[in-house]
């Protein structure tokens, strides 16, 4: 029987009917719809057991206790450790990014050697050999950004054994305050007992946004017993939340402090310090309300009111600090300390307290003596040839990016023949080094934080690694101990873990307890001898302003900080009034804009310190008159695509002044010329 056309069509119809009665069309349709959702580039979740381990954040000096949520062996999310006194379960946006930073594209993947501008991978053994050789014949120096970790102690101790005193911290309020306090004959580290204060006046220090123990400050604020007042040039996050914002020109907070001191002295307040009567006469004659009003922009009535409220408070606390955490001088701190002394709240509950130092590396100099080493001064001497350095080690710091007078820093770097960058990320400083020796991310290493600056108590926390290094990184202090051994220098410890154990026992804590997230807390204050105060420092506030608009750099943790550039996860937190595409906004109020002839969106150049900064104008009433606010943290040239080329770096136009009487470099009172671009 043959198959004709009709027969064939009937066969197909039969087939079609049959197919409809099979799973073919229905199952295929279902499967294809599922297939359409399974793109290979959409990652699959990796399941496992959930757990939480304690860690300590080292992304800024605030030393918050973290609780790292893990799935299997993978850390996934960072939350606050609710039992840690500095975080109480809270974390700042930067700390919240910490897990994801493990895989930041800019991470240094392994030891690198600079071969005429090209970085080549080398082994750790070779790195140790090269560095040991360089150190055995040359003079060494070190810059560290780790304010409160024992790693800095190891580095400083190692330098001492090499016969060098050139150990420098990155400039910070911690350093200036320590220097100022030791010059006044004081002992211990300055802290502020916010938790027990019923009246907190913050002069400059942006305590709820970026300054000091920022999360702990916020926690203390949330459970406040009384008023919080913030004096600063910009309505920051602190100004938004506190009871009152007192606008004051950038860097003039010290003058305001003396203006308040004037009224306190008039009210008969005094302090038992050497040279008091001279200081009293000086303040009463030079920092009269009219002078202070002109310098600070704060009305006389307001100054008087602040003085009265401080006196009326049971346990007032005056915090002083730079608006952006650095660049303040001994003048600012002396004025702030004087105010606290007049209020009689030093080493008092709720006041300014003095906390003891602990040191376990014998060869390391004390913090107080290290605070006298001024980085800017050192770099100046290197440039001028007064100081000859053969090897510079940089740990956890980015001085090429985060110092004013970047050109001078770069020049100093070029004068030092051999530079080593112990950096977790490929930052502006690392790329200028001859050796890049990756430090592990803090979740990959042992590390500690001893009484972060601003804390009102002694707090020691230690963290063990949460994950094995995801790149070929090696703990810097461990590496230094190896190098020391090969140079036959004995720091007294075999490993960094041993250093931490020694510190734990020095503060009277159980090491295992610390690792599990329990911190050592002590309320011990350091008793003081007779303090002294010289008028010379106090005269610095009277230096007349130069020409131009006041510049107010603004630090916010969601914009990164001086060590860590804006993180990939934080990119979406940046407001569209701060950054648009690649253009950074500078903020001025309507009155200032009118005065300068600027309109919303105008492209402007800020000129200062012989350099230029480019940005666009955003008109906002959050900035006081005659002041231009600029966010810190932009204008990166290294790192990764998440920050590179975005905006401009305000450090470029900060002008540095050497303070009389202390020799400190100060850059919190910069002024710029604003021109249309």
For the CB of residue 388, give the shortest distance to other proteins in the complex, in Å.
42
For the CB of residue 9, give the shortest distance to other proteins in the complex, in Å.
8
| Of 583, 62, 158, nearest in space to 395 by CA | 158
Task: Using CB under 8 A, pick the residue from 50, 266, 524, 599 that binds other proteins.
Answer: 50
- Build a one-symbol-per-residue string for 321-360: x at contacts with other proteins by CB under 8 A, - elsewhere: ----------------------------------------
For the CB of residue 641, give the shortest distance to other proteins in the complex, in Å.
6
Chain position carrying tokens 């050796």: 435
Report how far residue 95's alpha carbon sits from residue 91's, in angstroms, rounded to the nearest whole number: 6
For the CB of residue 570, give the shortest distance to other proteins in the complex, in Å.
6
Tell me the residue ranges of DSSP E strands in 240-304. Answer: 244-247, 273-274
Quick one: 187 or 590, whose CB is closer to other proteins?
A: 590
Chain position carrying tokens 């309109």: 599
CA distances to 39, 551, 608 from 651, rounded to whole Å, are 45, 11, 10
Report how far residue 388's alpha carbon sits from residue 415's, in angstroms, rounded to the nearest whole number: 8
CB-CB neighbours of 387 under 10 Å: 18
Token couple for 257:
């402090």
Q: Are 342 and 269 in contact (CB under 8 A)?
A: yes
For the CB of residue 100, give the shortest distance to other proteins in the complex, in Å.
5
Kindly identify the residues of this chain, within the stretch 224-283, that bind other proteins according to CB under 8 A: 235, 237-241, 247
Q: For residue 38, state whether it binds other proteins (rule: CB under 8 A).
A: yes
| Of 238, 192, 211, nearest in space to 337 by CA | 192
Kindly identify the residues of this chain, within the stretch 426-485, that bind other proteins according to CB under 8 A: 470
Kindly identify the residues of this chain, within the stretch 537-576, that bind other proteins according to CB under 8 A: 556-558, 568-576
Instruction: Tell me the CB-side half-sphere exposure of residue 364, using CA atoms within 13 A.
Output: 26
Size of the site for other proteins (CB under 8 A): 110
Quick one: 241 or 539, whose CB is closer to other proteins?
A: 241
Kindly identify the residues of this chain, within the stretch 195-224, that bind other proteins according to CB under 8 A: 208-209, 214-215, 218-219, 221-222
Quick one: 222 or 506, whose CB is closer to other proteins?
A: 222
Kindly identify the residues of this chain, within the stretch 588-607, that bind other proteins according to CB under 8 A: 589-591
Q: For residue 43, state whether it binds other proteins (rule: CB under 8 A).
A: yes
Report how far residue 610's alpha carbon sits from residue 495's, in angstroms, rounded to the nearest whole number: 47
Q: For residue 366, state whether it binds other proteins (rule: CB under 8 A).
A: no
Q: For residue 384, state whether it binds other proteins (rule: CB under 8 A).
A: no
Tell me the residue ranges of DSSP E strands in 511-610. Answer: 520-522, 531-532, 549-554, 579-580, 583-588, 603-608
Q: For residue 488, state whether it binds other proteins (rule: CB under 8 A).
A: no
Identify the helix (H) or strand (E) that includes residue 671.
strand 671-676
Kindly identify the residues of this chain, within the stretch 71-110, that bind other proteins according to CB under 8 A: 71-72, 74-80, 87, 89-93, 95-97, 99-100, 102-105
Report how far residue 349's alpha carbon sits from residue 90's, in angstroms, rounded to the nearest whole number: 24
Kindly identify the residues of this chain, within the stretch 140-179, that bind other proteins according to CB under 8 A: none
Quick one: 72 or 275, whose CB is closer to other proteins?
A: 72
Kindly identify the residues of this chain, within the stretch 624-643, that bind other proteins according to CB under 8 A: 624-625, 640-642
Q: Is 12 helix (H, G, I), strand (E, B) or coil?
A: helix
For the CB of residue 562, give the shortest distance to other proteins in the complex, in Å.
18
Quick one: 98 or 177, whose CB is closer to other proteins?
A: 98
Chain position carrying tokens 């295992």: 512
For the CB of residue 45, give the shortest distance to other proteins in the complex, in Å.
5
Kindly identify the residues of this chain, within the stretch 3-32, that bind other proteins according to CB under 8 A: 3-4, 6-8, 10-19, 21-24, 27-28, 30-32
Identify the helix (H) or strand (E) that includes residue 266.
helix 253-266
Task: Using CB under 8 A, pick the residue from 301, 384, 386, 577 that binds other proteins.
Answer: 577
Token couple for 29:
């349709």
Identify the helix (H) or strand (E) that includes residue 126.
helix 124-137
Quick one: 299 or 388, whose CB is closer to other proteins?
A: 299
For the CB of residue 197, give the shortest distance to other proteins in the complex, in Å.
17
What are the backbone dihedrals phi and psi of residue 473, each rounded to the nearest 5 degrees, phi first?
Answer: -110, 160
Identify the helix (H) or strand (E) that includes residue 143.
strand 140-144
């Amino acid at each position: 029987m043959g198959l004709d056309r009709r027969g064939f069509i009937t066969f197909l119809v039969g087939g079609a009917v049959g197919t409809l009665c099979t799973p073919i069309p229905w199952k295929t349709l279902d499967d294809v719809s599922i297939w359409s959702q399974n793109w290979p580039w959409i990652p699959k979740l990796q399941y496992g057991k959930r757990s939480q381990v304690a860690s300590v954040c080292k992304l800024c000096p605030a030393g918050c206790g973290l609780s790292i949520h893990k799935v299997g062996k993978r850390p996934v999310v960072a939350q606050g450790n609710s039992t840690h006194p500095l975080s109480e379960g809270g974390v700042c946006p930067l700390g919240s990014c910490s897990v994801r930073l493990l895989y930041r594209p800019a991470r240094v993947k392994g030891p690198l050697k600079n071969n005429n501008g090209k970085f080549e991978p080398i082994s750790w053994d070779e790195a140790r050999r090269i560095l040991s050789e360089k150190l055995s014949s040359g003079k060494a120096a070190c810059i560290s950004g780790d304010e409160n970790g024992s790693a800095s102690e190891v580095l400083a101790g190692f330098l001492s054994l090499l016969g060098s005193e050139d150990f420098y911290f990155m400039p910070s309020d911690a350093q200036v305050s320590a220097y100022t306090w030791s010059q006044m004959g004081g002992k211990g580290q300055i802290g502020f007992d916010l938790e027990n204060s019923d009246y907190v006046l913050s002069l400059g220090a942006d305590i709820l946004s970026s300054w000091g123990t920022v999360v702990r400050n916020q926690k203390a604020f949330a459970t406040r017993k009384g008023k919080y007042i913030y004096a600063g040039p910009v309505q920051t996050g602190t100004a938004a939340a506190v009871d009152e914002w007192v606008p004051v020109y950038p860097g003039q907070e010290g003058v305001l402090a003396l203006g308040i001191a004037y009224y306190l002295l008039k009210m008969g307040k005094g302090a038992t310090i050497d040279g008091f009567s001279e200081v009293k006469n000086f303040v009463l004659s030079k920092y009269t309300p009219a002078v202070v009003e002109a310098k600070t922009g704060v009305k006389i009535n307001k100054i008087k009111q602040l003085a009265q409220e401080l006196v009326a408070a049971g346990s007032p606390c005056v915090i002083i600090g730079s608006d952006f955490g650095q660049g303040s001088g001994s003048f600012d701190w002396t004025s702030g300390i004087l105010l606290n002394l007049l209020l009689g709240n030093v080493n008092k509950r709720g006041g300014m307290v003095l906390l003891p130092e602990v040191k376990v590396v014998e060869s390391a100099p004390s913090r107080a003596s290290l605070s006298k080493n001024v980085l800017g001064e050192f770099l100046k001497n290197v440039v001028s040839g007064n100081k000859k350095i053969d090897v510079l080690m940089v740990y956890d710091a980015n001085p090429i990016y985060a110092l004013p007078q970047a050109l001078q820093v770069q020049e100093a770097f070029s004068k030092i023949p051999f530079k080593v960058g112990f950096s977790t990320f490929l930052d502006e400083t690392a790329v200028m080094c001859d050796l890049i020796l990756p430090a592990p991310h803090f979740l990959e290493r042992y590390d500690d934080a001893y009484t972060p600056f601003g804390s009102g108590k002694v707090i020691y926390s230690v963290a063990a690694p949460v994950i094995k290094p995801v790149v070929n990184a090696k703990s810097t202090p461990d590496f230094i101990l190896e190098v020391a051994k090969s140079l036959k220098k004995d720091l007294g410890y075999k490993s960094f873990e041993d250093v931490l154990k020694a510190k734990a026992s020095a503060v009277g804590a159980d090491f295992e307890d610390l690792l599990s997230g329990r911190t050592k807390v002590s309320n011990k204050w350091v008793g003081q001898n007779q303090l002294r105060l010289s008028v010379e420092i106090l005269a610095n506030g009277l230096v007349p302003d130069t020409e131009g608009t006041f510049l107010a750099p603004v630090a916010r943790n969601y914009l990164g900080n001086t060590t860590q550039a804006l993180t990939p996860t934080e990119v979406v937190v940046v407001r569209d009034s701060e950054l648009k595409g690649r253009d950074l906004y500078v903020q001025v109020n309507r009155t200032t804009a009118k005065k300068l002839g600027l309109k919303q969106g105008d492209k402007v150049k800020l000129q200062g310190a012989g350099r230029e900064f480019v940005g666009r104008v955003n008109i906002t009433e959050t900035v006081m008159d005659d002041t231009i606010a600029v966010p810190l943290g932009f204008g990166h040239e290294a790192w990764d695509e998440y920050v590179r080329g975005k905006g401009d770096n305000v450090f470029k136009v900060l002008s540095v002044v050497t303070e009389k009487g202390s020799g400190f470099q100060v850059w919190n009172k910069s002024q710029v010329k604003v021109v249309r671009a």
